[in-house]
Amino acid sequence: MKNFSFYNPVKIIFGKDTIKDIAAEIPAKSKVLVVYGGGSIKKNGVYDQVTKALSSFEWHEFSGIEPNPHYETCMKAVALIKDKKIDFILAVGGGSVVDATKFIVAAACFEDGDPWKILSEGRAIKKALPYGTVLTLSATGSEMNDGAVITRAETQDKLAFSNPLVYPKFSVLDPEVTFSLPPKQIANGIVDSFVHVIEQYLVYSEEDTLMQDLWAESLLKLLTIEGPKALRNPDDYNVRANLMWASSWALNGWVGRGVDQDWATHMIGHEITAFYGLDHAVTLSIVLPGLMTVLKDQKAKKIVRLGKKVFGIEGASDNEIIDRTVKAVEGFFEGLGVKTRLSDYGLGGDAIEVIRKRLNERGWKLGECHNITGDVAAEILDLRR
């Protein structure tokens, strides 16, 4: 196990009817800005619960954060914060709203020119406004981590940053608010959580990280058991509760401490979204089976372990187990209704070349062994036509 430090200061408030508890978490006399997306919270009663809980505060609102949130939109929120002298933000929505809020709270305090540099140049953040979240879609883990992914529409860049200053002060996780998710978003959330664990587990490693491996396998197993149930019985509270808590743990730092990490599936996926607008989880479901195939020698030990421990594949040679495990992962995604081929989304060779060029231009060498260049990404995508 590698040396590591672990720090996660996010207070989680979990369960039914917990949105009202935000009032006790926000410092008295704060001027609050409620940040949300395209309006789902007005249809499912979350907006009403939030505004009721905020009745003793002066509060304002900023809506219109889009999926794969745009830098351009975030900067409008920053202007409003400065204008109204806001001192606490409440993010109400899915990963996009939470990610946007992370960038907004950093950008509002950034004094080193254009805040885009936080993403494009990795410029340091020295300060950020405090914020909390009311999560409405379990998928990204953003409610319990310090990372965010922001898109600049103008240049089709989708870039990530992370900084301990942008951990939420608290996150409210009421599984009941996820009942209103359409099946597509339920499935996306399950795929995203699954791939978050995979990025921190399915690696070449000489390290002995049994504790992290067993945690990771529990999360992956849970997602394969509860995921299909959530689609079959969308009103099952316990299933939603398991998925919501698992998705936070999939990316709150815990399973990845002291282990090598991959993240190439995400980085290639971000480019597909940046150029072609596919949902984040959809891009992951396309890339991962291809990546597992191209890197099967490097990752052999862990792919075999994944096959045996999570998908119950036994009694064959390692090579057969690897092939069957790749198929099992693809079948799991397809079984959730998420199509896993580029052609399912009208994409082919042209898109592969665009992504090859972008990654080669960036000079990125992705993955735990730093060997996935634009050319290797193109090889991966070629298998996913």
Three-class secondary structure of residue 383 per DSSP: coil
Q: Quote the CA–CA distance of 249 and 23 in Å, as a whole number.
A: 25
* Cβ nearer to ligand NZQ, comparing 49 with 68: 68
Q: How many residues does the chain have?
A: 385
- In the bound complex, what is the minimum distance in angstroms from residue 36's beta carbon to Zn ion? 21
Site for ligand NZQ in 290-329 (CB under 6 A): none
Instruction: Provide the Cα torsion 351, 355, 357, 360; round to 10°.
Output: -160
- In the bound complex, what is the minimum distance in angstroms from residue 317's beta carbon to ligand NZQ? 34
- In the bound complex, what is the minimum distance in angstroms from residue 264's beta carbon to Zn ion? 12
* Cβ nearer to Zn ion, comparing 187 with 313: 187
Give yes or no for residue 279 binding Zn ion (CB under 5 A): no
Give yes or no for residue 93 binding ligand NZQ (CB under 6 A): yes
Task: Match 């405090």 to its residue by tokens.
Answer: 130
Site track 217-256 with ligand NZQ (rule: CB under 6 A), x = hit:
----------------------------------x-----
Site track 8-47 with ligand NZQ (rule: CB under 6 A), x = hit:
-----------------------------xxxxx--x---
Instruction: Note the helical H segments in 113-180.
Output: 117-120
Q: Quote the CA–CA distance of 280 and 342 in Å, as a whole number.
A: 14
Q: Is 13 left (phi over 0), alpha (psi -120 to 50) or beta?
A: beta
Give yes or no for residue 192 binding Zn ion (CB under 5 A): yes
Q: How far is CA 357 from CA 181, 377, 382, in A?
A: 36, 10, 14
Q: Report the residue from 47, 54, 57, 68 that binds ligand NZQ according to the rule CB under 6 A.
A: 68
91 strand-pairing partners: 35, 133
Give yes or no for residue 197 binding ligand NZQ (CB under 6 A): no
CA neighbor of 290 nearest in space, from 363, 200, 376: 376
Site for ligand NZQ in 48-67 (CB under 6 A): 67
Give yes or no for residue 188 binding ligand NZQ (CB under 6 A): yes
**Which chain residues interact with Zn ion by CB under 5 A?**
192
